[in-house]
Structure 1
């Protein structure tokens, strides 16, 4: 169609809309979609090593139903073992059940996946069986029937001819099963099941003809997070109600010998599964406890008969679970609960509005925003009570207790995003980390917190960054002096110490990251008027210089005596040489607090620019795991924005647009690496609207080429203030900023301060096909 005809067609359609005529193909485009309509929970929902080309796998997200930052995630589970943190992978052909709790985008074997519910027919099976369909209660499912949206999931289990539907509230899950005509239909609940292991003890009681209550204790002896090394130790309490009376019910209990190992690999073994398959079945038992327990209820069903199970959970008590269920799902209206879940997502996702781009690109954006709103999840009951790190009940009072802090990942993009759109969430997180340290009688902040555990996962002191960044931005509804003391204690406990470098296995990564976190302490100390501390930690922030070897022209680990470790044949390209999940070429760019000093060490601006361009140009087209700019992992996430600091902002614009296009897609394999509890998606959300920090703790956000023509950001919680980023003449070719205005006045800087963003305003960027090397320098 020629341009003239296109214009006429557009005009005719506009007239048709005005006078109410029907135009074929117009209805869909004429409808106004809401944010939740663009959410595709299947993006990233794969753990496939084959598709990723690396053992880390792909996104590792879950497709099930949840609410913004909710305690409950009702989701299908296809696998218990391996490094499958979400318990689900799209390519698997069978479902073993539907659990109430999931983690999002994590490796290290994962955890949760508790209270696994499976509708079945026929004879009772007590073991789930293998993913390939081996005998057990799992079922093949019709892939074409599987649908997921914000707050809802459904699939048809072909082995049992049962349609499963899932929805959620913040503390509860609701499952609706449509059964065939059968005289031996069943809902069975595996209380022992846990991603990456097993719960180690369970209890269940039939309270009345419609209700069961109980708990599942998950300890490190049962594997889970880090296969036990993550020290996850929690109890899930539940109150579950059935819409059909329990007249024929019972339990199964596997006899697990005392002293038998119950880690991930043991639970996966044939010998263990044989024990479970031969579990003792007892009917009519009013209550039971055991090491590997399950509950079942048998029903006679008519064709299409629906049975609903609604379940409240709590991490503090059965009473808490009961109260949560009563407060959030008082009736049996599945459709109403589903609608409320969807509306909660529309409200949460409505904090950002983008225009321009295709439907696929909007789906990628809003799903990314959705994934940033899974964690840190609520950890308290509806009455504000939560289980403390001391094993005692506490009341949160003036904040919401939260959990799941994937620190090493989320300090980079996820928390800087939330400081703009959900600052109270950041307050909650800081209060949660500070009170946890007090409850556990520990004098430092955890780097990767999960359900009260100090897991010690990954490296560095990321909580310091989150606190320093929040304070600098005026987010301060916590005990600031106490938080500062914990930051200082943390830096003293884990840091470069008197040597001025770290010589352990990850000497480069640790030294560089500790130097940055020390700088964060100095910033906080300076703001609080603690000049002596400010000077001390400012100096310690320069520790990165201590491991730069001019002879090789790069960062190099030292041993405990100060000698350089042997330089490998591959040089800075060698994976794991002084680094964690990276090589020195990737990790070496992490001096976000002193880019000028880093540039000087590396030989000056021109040399660094040339090296950085090479770093990006060598990346494979699909941007999957590689030895150069490896977007699949966090250490490099700030690197595209370094060009701004090096007075070449057009290269930041070029490469962030490339990353947005090449590393994020509206498909299952749409994330090039683990979602990592919101970090991978938060990077995209910020970059796609044209704003991203290099250095949290500094209030500066770098300006880059927006992926969308316009983005509207509701800043703060309940504010009517909106910050708009408008990219005029924007297109896949016009990726370069030609000029800019802020609130109608010429703007020549390549960065903008947080204070400008949160007071609202309009940043207008004129785009073009070639770099303007004079703008932003």
Structure 2
């Protein structure tokens, strides 16, 4: 009997051209790390308002772009706005440059042209040859660790760039603060805080190398007003700590032609120690091939749950769609269950794994019902994550569009409500139903939220209160119907009747 490998039909390049907003890099199901190439540095703004060209780079990658800037560890997938692009690494040869250069003149910075014929994207694996440096770059992941393998085929000595300023939907000033520390000759840790779509976002890393560092430079490219007594140090060369808003670094390892460098970078929402724990727990050995095989196996397990009778072309479409459905929401917790909450306190997941990236206006109709049917354990964790959000919210409401311990308030409706109701009526019992109903009613009764007070008083959202008044009214009415169904299931006839009545408000549109 030949082992079934439906994951071989997954093509991560699908959706990476123009406005598809997908990335081709490595990720495992629901993984916190999405390790992928970024192909340009188009800013969200250059100080003169929104730059519409940035919309093409929601996932950091454009299939037809001629250069690769580097490989960052966090990406949004399929969204219509963006953030993230954390902790970009780029292998180089020769004397390192710390600016990315431009697509037109890549030689002015550290980016590189690449050979499209050498680019490979498979389930849990990405590879490409960087032609300016003659470096073969390979990527894979665990849930919380990005694994890089770089083969330096050029004649010049190799090095590695770490850019703490780079980001997706970036702008000058987005990095509020960052820090890098060289712990020893094979371990570097750090963190950054950013202000973007998520207004107050913290992310930490721990990075290990298969070869010892021989020389390094940590620099802050912002003019430092206060120097203090740091001036007694030569801080730009082999000085093991650097903080600031524009921190960049390079590392040398005595690399020669044909040498390989294995880099493992774990991330954490909690702390550098949390990232180090993730690194030790999920990436204890030095075999890139084994990590790659484990990532493929994770995807193959999911793909093999479904078998279709179709030709290869239809199978590519089907299994790639399955793959796309299992990237977000994503785990947002360390291996010990700790995570950063909406209140920016550190919480312990009590009987559940915390998730983030709830794009609920986009996902309540199809993705979450799909997860409820096929992944009830994960769906239960997601509901518990939403209830934790409710507990930690300054508004005491469920998430609208949340990522990385922030609600970015994108889109309309209170669509955590139908996700929770759908899970309950389909028999998922891994969360407190009464608490969930209370949170649902509270979210549907929070008068300051986009015309909700008028909706409660008048039965509709007036056009002068919302530019999407008809859509908002319709979606509030649908959400109210699901609250009614949840209340019926829990035996609360008063709430059931009240929200059944409210659900008829859609009639006021006609």
Aligned equivalent of 2:118, options 125, 128, 145 = 145
Aligned equivalent of 1:418, options 371, 387, 395 = 371
SS in 2 for 1:282: coil
Question: Partner of 1:501 in structure 2?
Answer: 460
Measured in 2, the distance between the counterparts of 1:132 and 1:513 equals 46
Measured in 2, the distance between the counterparts of 1:441 and 1:541 equals 27
SS in 1 for 2:479: helix
Question: Partner of 2:496 in structure 1?
Answer: 534
1:42 and 2:3 correspond: no
Aligned equivalent of 1:340, options 272, 280, 294 = 294
Q: Which structure would you say has the larger Rg?
A: 1
Measured in 2, the distance between the counterparts of 1:281 and 1:339 equals 41
Q: How does 1:515-530 map to 2 (within 5 A)?
A: 515-530=477-492
Contact between 1:204 and 1:288, CA under 8 Å: does it hold in 2? yes
Measured in 2, the distance between the counterparts of 1:414 and 1:233 equals 27
Identify the range of structure 1 (321-330 vs 521-530) with the bigger mean alpha-carbon deviation: 521-530
How many aligned residue pairs are there? Answer: 477
1:235 and 2:235 correspond: no
1:63 and 2:24 correspond: yes
Aligned equivalent of 1:217, options 181, 187, 193 = 193
CA 1:31–1:233: 2 relative to 1, 3 Å:
same
Unaligned runs of 5+ in 2: 43-53, 226-233
Contact between 2:218 and 2:240, CA under 8 Å: does it hold in 1? no
Measured in 2, the distance between the counterparts of 1:516 and 1:247 equals 62
Question: Partner of 1:639 in structure 2?
Answer: none
Measured in 1, the distance between the counterparts of 2:2 and 2:113 equals 37
Aligned equivalent of 2:250, options 278, 291, 296 = 296
CA 1:489–1:257: 2 relative to 1, 3 Å:
farther
SS in 2 for 1:545: helix
CA 1:182–1:281: 2 relative to 1, 3 Å:
farther
Measured in 2, the distance between the counterparts of 1:403 and 1:347 equals 23
SS in 1 for 2:24: coil
Measured in 2, the distance between the counterparts of 1:536 and 1:448 equals 26
Aligned equivalent of 1:125, options 88, 97, 103 = 97
Measured in 1, the distance between the counterparts of 2:78 and 2:224 equals 34
Q: Deviations over 1:600-648 (max 9, x none)?
A: xxxxxxxxxxxxxxxxxxxxxxxxxxxxxxxxxxxxxxxxxxxxxxxxx
Contact between 2:344 and 2:405, CA under 8 Å: does it hold in 1? no
Contact between 1:182 and 1:301, CA under 8 Å: does it hold in 2? no
Identify the range of structure 1 (149-158 vs 129-138) with the bigger mean alpha-carbon deviation: 129-138
Question: Partner of 1:158 in structure 2?
Answer: 131
Contact between 1:407 and 1:447, CA under 8 Å: does it hold in 2? yes
Question: Partner of 1:249 in structure 2?
Answer: 216
Q: How does 1:167-566 map to 2 (within 5 A)?
A: 167-197=140-170, 198-218=174-194, 220=195, 224-225=196-197, 231-255=198-222, 282-355=236-309, 357-493=310-446, 494=449, 495=452, 496-503=455-462, 504-548=466-510
Measured in 2, the distance between the counterparts of 1:33 and 1:351 equals 10
SS in 2 for 1:61: coil
Deviation, 1:523, is 1.1
Deviation, 1:541, is 0.8
Deviation, 1:181, is 4.4
SS in 1 for 2:157: strand
1:115 and 2:95 correspond: no
Measured in 2, the distance between the counterparts of 1:182 and 1:545 equals 72
Measured in 2, the distance between the counterparts of 1:464 and 1:299 equals 53
Contact between 2:134 and 2:154, CA under 8 Å: does it hold in 1? no
Q: How does 1:629-668 map to 2 (within 5 A)?
A: none
Q: Deviations over 1:297-335 (max 9, x none)?
A: 124333221111111111101111101111111111000
Deviation, 1:281, is 8.2
Measured in 1, the distance between the counterparts of 2:408 and 2:126 equals 31
1:106 and 2:83 correspond: no
Contact between 1:447 and 1:461, CA under 8 Å: does it hold in 2? yes
Measured in 2, the distance between the counterparts of 1:145 and 1:158 equals 10
Measured in 2, the distance between the counterparts of 1:491 and 1:516 equals 11
Deviation, 1:438, is 0.8
Measured in 1, the distance between the counterparts of 2:338 and 2:316 equals 37
Measured in 2, the distance between the counterparts of 1:386 and 1:472 equals 29
Q: Deviations over 1:555-609 (max 9, x none)?
A: xxxxxxxxxxxxxxxxxxxxxxxxxxxxxxxxxxxxxxxxxxxxxxxxxxxxxxx
Measured in 1, the distance between the counterparts of 2:206 and 2:75 equals 18
CA 1:36–1:140: 2 relative to 1, 3 Å:
same
Deviation, 1:427, is 0.8
Measured in 2, the distance between the counterparts of 1:323 and 1:167 equals 19
Measured in 2, the distance between the counterparts of 1:519 and 1:196 equals 37
Deviation, 1:527, is 1.8
Q: TM-score w.r.t. structure 2 length?
A: 0.90
Q: Deviations over 1:401-433 (max 9, x none)?
A: 000000001111101111111011111111101
Deviation, 1:442, is 2.9
Contact between 2:159 and 2:255, CA under 8 Å: does it hold in 1? no
Question: Partner of 1:90 in structure 2?
Answer: 63
Deviation, 1:131, is 2.9
Deviation, 1:455, is 1.1
CA 1:33–1:359: 2 relative to 1, 3 Å:
farther
Contact between 1:202 and 1:291, CA under 8 Å: does it hold in 2? yes
Measured in 1, the distance between the counterparts of 2:326 and 2:458 equals 40
Contact between 2:190 and 2:205, CA under 8 Å: does it hold in 1? yes
Measured in 2, the distance between the counterparts of 1:184 and 1:306 equals 12
Deviation, 1:351, is 2.0
Q: Deviations over 1:663-699 (max 9, x none)?
A: xxxxxxxxxxxxxxxxxxxxxxxxxxxxxxxxxxxxx
Cα RMSD over matched residues?
A: 1.7
Contact between 2:268 and 2:274, CA under 8 Å: does it hold in 1? yes
Identify the range of structure 1 (405-414 vs 181-190) with the bigger mean alpha-carbon deviation: 181-190
Unaligned runs of 5+ in 1: 1-29, 49-56, 226-230, 259-279, 549-777
Q: Deviations over 1:174-224 (max 9, x none)?
A: 101111344532101101211111432111111111111111111x2xxx3
Deviation, 1:546, is 0.8
